[in-house]
């Protein structure tokens, strides 16, 4: 991993995400791409065709440059290799496009926006990034003095289609130096016997060389509650899961449930595209 993309809208949450990126960059010599999206009252393509709107575009761009430069001078970014970019695009499209164009390996973003710039990183945009990003997305929900992932819960059904993102998760877990807690959530609607679930997990994990981990089966009323409650029970620092471009989460989740996890979990959530 070499490059982290951090979308910022200058809210406290996006700055906290940038602080996490800075911690990882300092420890691992990563580059940071600092991205701000300008979603103007009139779409930029229309605005450029209207001479009366050009001053408005220039005003917003200059304000963004001013804020970015101030942010770049933050003490926690000192000595890091950082590139800044301002794009006139819709937030979700701009972030996905920037991750591809800049060959980013990880997106780190806050989950809430700021009223000053139309709340650009509100939940719905975070959900879209999680759903469609081809690279891992780390969503920061609550600022801490130092980001840690010592105790990393990874929830899955451990199906064959998750093996590729699972390898990517293991790479990041090694970088984070995490103890891994692999968990399958059983609910009344998705019940499997303990014997069958243990066999599925055992056969799946036999394909990988993993040292510091434990396996768990957790019963709850629904999968979202199960993941959150299990993560709390082991004092997890971070929750991980696979995502699917069509539905938002690995197929053992129902559509919006994964996006609800990103919105509702207090702990950082990292997702990996199937």
Q: What is the mean pLDDT of the chain?
A: 85
Q: What burial class does residue 154 get, using C-beta atoms within 10 Å of its C-beta: 0-12 exposed, 13-18 middle, 19+ buried? A: buried
Residue 174 is assigned to a structural domain of this protein: yes
Residue 15 is assigned to a structural domain of this protein: yes
Q: 96: domain range?
A: 3-140
Residue 191 is assigned to a structural domain of this protein: yes
Residues 178, 86, single domain; the answer is no
Record the pTM. Answer: 0.87
Residues 162, 256, single domain; the answer is yes
Residues 7, 132, single domain; the answer is yes
Residue 229 is assigned to a structural domain of this protein: yes
Residues 47, 87, single domain; the answer is yes
- For 39-90, how does the pLDDT look when each residue is reduced to its tens digit (9 = 90+)? 765 554 454 455 546 777 888 888 889 999 999 999 999 999 999 999 988 8
Q: Look at the chain and report how many structural domains it folds into.
A: 2
**CATH code for the domain in which residue 215 is found:** 3.40.50.620
Q: What angle do CA 42, 102, 91 make, to 5 degrees?
A: 25
Residues 166, 269, single domain; the answer is yes
- For 140-163, how does the pLDDT look when each residue is reduced to its tens digit (9 = 90+)? 976 666 789 999 999 999 999 999
Q: What burial class does residue 28 get, using C-beta atoms within 10 Å of its C-beta: 0-12 exposed, 13-18 middle, 19+ buried? A: exposed
Neighbours of 204 (CB within 10 A): 19
249: confidence class by pLDDT, cuts 50, 70, 90: very low
Reported as type and span, the H/E element at residue 174 is helix 163-176
Q: What is the structure's pLDDT at 115? A: 38
State which of 79, 108, 140 marks the end of a domain: 140
Structure token pair of residue 148: 């840690």
Least confident of 63-67, 133-137, 138-142, 236-240: 138-142
- CA dist 237 and 234 (Å) reads 9
State which of 140, 170, 190 marks the end of a domain: 140
Q: What is the structure's pLDDT at 49? A: 52
- CA dist 274 and 161 (Å) reads 7
Residues 245, 167, single domain; the answer is yes
Residues 81, 177, single domain; the answer is no
Residues 226, 116, single domain; the answer is no
Residues 117, 228, single domain; the answer is no
Residues 188, 86, single domain; the answer is no
Residue 242, helix vs strand vs coil:
strand
Q: Residues 6 or more apart from 134 whose CB is under 8 A from it? A: 99, 100, 273
Residue 145 is assigned to a structural domain of this protein: no
State which of 118, 140, 162 marks the end of a domain: 140
């Amino acid at each position: 991993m070499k490059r982290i993309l951090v979308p910022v809208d200058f809210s406290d949450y996006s700055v906290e995400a940038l602080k996490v990126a800075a911690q990882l960059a300092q420890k691992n010599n990563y580059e940071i791409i600092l991205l701000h999206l300008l979603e103007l009252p009139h779409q930029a393509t229309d605005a450029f065709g209207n001479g009366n709107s050009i001053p408005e575009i220039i005003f917003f761009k200059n304000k963004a440059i001013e804020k970015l430069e101030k942010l770049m001078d933050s003490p926690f970014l000192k000595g890091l290799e950082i590139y800044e970019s301002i794009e006139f695009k819709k937030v979700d499209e701009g972030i996905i496009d920037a991750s591809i164009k800049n060959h980013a390996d990880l997106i780190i973003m806050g989950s809430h926006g700021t009223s000053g710039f139309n709340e650009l990183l509100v939940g719905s945009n975070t959900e879209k990034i999680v759903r469609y990003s081809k690279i891992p997305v780390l969503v920061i929900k609550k600022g801490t003095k130092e980001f840690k992932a010592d105790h990393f819960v990874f929830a899955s059904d451990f199906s064959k289609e998750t093996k590729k993102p699972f390898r990517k998760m293991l790479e990041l877990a090694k970088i984070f130096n995490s103890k891994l807690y692999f968990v399958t959530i059983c609910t009344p609607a998705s019940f499997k016997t303990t014997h069958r679930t243990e066999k599925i997990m055992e056969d799946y994990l036999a394909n990988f060389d993993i040292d510091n981990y434990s396996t768990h089966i957790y019963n709850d009323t629904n999968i979202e509650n199960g993941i959150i409650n299990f993560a709390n029970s082991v004092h997890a620092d971070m929750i991980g899961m696979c995502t699917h471009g069509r539905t938002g989460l690995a197929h053992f989740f129902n559509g919006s449930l994964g996006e609800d996890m990103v919105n509702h979990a207090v702990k950082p959530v990292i997702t990996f595209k199937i």
